[in-house]
C-alpha cells in the first residue's frame, strides 16, 4: 500500500453493487407482511435457535429488531460474527449494531459458532474448527430463514465480524453463493489463517467488485499485523498488507493507486487506505487485538481511539453506500 492518487480502473466483470447516490428500489423478502413470531418484539434482543443441516442439528443466534421495524417495510440486515470463545450477546455488546444511538434502523443478527473438542466456540476458518462444520452453508441457511420470517431488503444484507468472526467474514467475501446475497463485508481484527500449505483459502466471489473494509491494530499481538504464528502456536495468519492488497487486485485496482488519509492525532493516529472506497483498510497505531472504540467496550478498556475512527460508526456509514 502506497500513498498516491486513486485512478479509475475498468472492471472486466459486471459491477453488481452501486453507490448510494443511485440506489435501486428495495427488494422485499418473503417475510414482508408476516406477523412477528411469538416471543419476538421490536427493540428487544432475543436468543433463538435454528434447525440446521450443516454439521449440527441446532444452531444458535441472537436477533434484534429496531424500534422502527415495520412488517411492510423492507429493512437492511447486518450479520455480526463473534470472536473465538465469545458468543452472540458479547458480539452484540461489542459491535453496538443494536444500539439505536448509532442510527442503524435495520435488523442485526449475531450468529454463534460451535464449540470445538475443548468446548471453545469458533467458526469455520479457525485451525481448531471441526472439519465437519460448514459455517458458510449455515449462514446461507440462516439467511433463508430470516428472509422468510422478517421483512428484509435483500439488496442490503451485510456482514461484519471480530477476530475469528472477522476471518470468517473474509471467507464469506470469497464464497460464490454468499457474494450473491451479501452486499458488503467488514472484518475487524480479522484472523485470516493460512492453510497447511501456507496459502490462503481459495477465493471465488461471484461478482466484481466485492466491497470490503478491514480494521486492524498495528500492535495486535494475537493476530499480528505482520502475520505469523498465532498465540496457540498451531497456525499462521497472513500479514494484513498482503491480504488487503490481494483484495485491491482482485477487485481490479492498481495496488499502488490507493488514496491514503489520516484520522485522530498523536499516539492515536489512524491511517486509512482506500481504493475508490470499494476496498478500504484502517491501520490503528495504538490498538491491539481490538474492536476500535472511543469508550471501554468489554474488548478493550484502555486502548481507545477517537470518536471519528470508531469501527461501528465507520462500518454503518460505509454499508449505506452499497446495495446489490
Q: Which residues pair with 297 in a beta bridge?
A: none
pLDDT in single tens digits along all 324 residues of the chain? 543 333 333 333 333 444 444 556 789 999 999 999 999 999 999 999 999 877 667 899 999 999 999 999 999 999 999 999 999 999 999 999 999 999 999 999 999 999 888 889 999 999 998 888 899 999 999 999 999 999 999 999 999 999 999 999 999 999 999 999 999 999 999 999 999 999 999 999 999 999 999 999 999 999 999 999 999 999 999 999 999 999 999 999 999 999 999 999 999 999 999 999 999 999 999 999 999 999 999 898 999 999 999 999 999 999 999 999
Q: Quote the DSSP letter at residue 82.
A: P
> What count of other Cβ atoms lies within 10 Å of the Cβ of residue 249?
12
Domain map of the chain by residue range?
Answer: 44-320
What's the topology of domain 44-320? Rossmann fold (3.40.50)
Q: What are phi and psi of 167, to 5 degrees?
A: -60, -40
Helices (H), 150-263: 164-173, 240-250
Sign of the CA dihedral running 199, 201, 202, 203: negative
pLDDT at 170: 98
Please report the beta strands in the chain, taking only residues with DSSP state E, as ranges in sequence order: 45-51, 58-64, 75-81, 107-111, 114-115, 121-122, 152-162, 184-188, 211-217, 228-229, 236-237, 259-263, 270-275, 279-284
Amino acid at each position: 500500500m502506497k500513498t498516491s492518487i486513486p485512478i479509475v480502473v475498468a472492471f472486466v466483470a459486471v459491477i453488481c453493487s452501486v453507490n448510494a447516490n443511485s440506489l435501486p428500489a428495495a427488494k422485499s423478502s418473503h417475510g414482508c407482511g408476516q406477523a412477528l413470531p411469538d416471543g419476538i418484539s421490536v427493540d428487544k434482543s432475543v436468543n433463538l435457535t435454528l434447525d440446521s443441516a450443516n454439521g449440527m442439528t441446532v444452531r444458535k443466534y441472537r436477533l434484534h429488531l429496531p424500534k422502527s421495524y415495520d412488517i411492510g417495510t423492507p429493512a437492511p440486515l447486518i450479520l455480526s460474527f463473534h470472536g473465538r470463545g465469545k458468543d452472540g450477546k458479547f458480539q452484540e455488546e461489542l459491535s453496538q449494531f443494536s444500539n439505536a444511538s448509532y442510527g442503524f434502523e435495520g435488523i442485526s443478527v449475531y450468529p454463534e459458532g460451535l464449540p470445538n473438542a475443548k468446548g471453545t466456540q469458533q467458526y469455520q476458518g479457525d485451525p481448531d474448527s471441526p472439519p465437519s462444520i460448514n459455517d458458510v452453508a449455515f449462514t446461507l441457511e440462516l439467511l433463508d430463514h430470516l428472509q422468510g420470517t422478517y421483512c428484509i431488503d435483500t439488496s442490503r444484507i451485510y456482514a461484519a465480524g471480530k477476530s475469528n468472526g472477522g476471518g470468517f467474514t473474509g471467507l464469506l467475501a470469497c464464497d460464490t453463493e454468499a457474494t450473491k446475497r451479501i452486499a458488503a463485508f467488514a472484518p475487524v481484527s480479522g484472523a485470516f489463517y493460512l492453510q497447511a500449505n501456507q496459502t490462503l483459502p481459495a477465493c471465488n466471489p461471484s461478482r466484481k467488485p466485492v466491497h470490503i473494509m478491514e480494521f486492524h491494530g498495528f500492535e495486535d499481538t494475537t493476530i499480528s499485523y505482520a502475520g505469523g504464528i498465532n498465540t496457540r502456536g498451531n497456525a499462521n495468519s497472513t500479514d494484513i498488507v498482503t491480504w488487503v492488497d490481494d483484495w485491491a487486485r482482485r477487485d481490479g485496482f492498481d495496488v499502488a493507486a490507493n488514496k491514503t488519509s489520516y484520522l485522530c492525532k498523536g499516539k492515536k493516529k489512524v491511517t486509512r487506505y482506500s481504493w475508490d472506497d470499494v476496498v478500504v483498510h484502517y491501520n490503528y497505531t495504538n490498538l491491539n487485538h481490538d474492536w476500535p472504540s472511543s469508550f471501554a467496550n468489554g474488548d478493550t478498556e484502555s486502548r481507545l481511539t477517537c470518536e471519528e475512527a470508531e469501527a461501528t460508526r465507520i462500518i454503518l456509514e460505509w454499508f449505506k453506500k452499497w446495495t446489490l
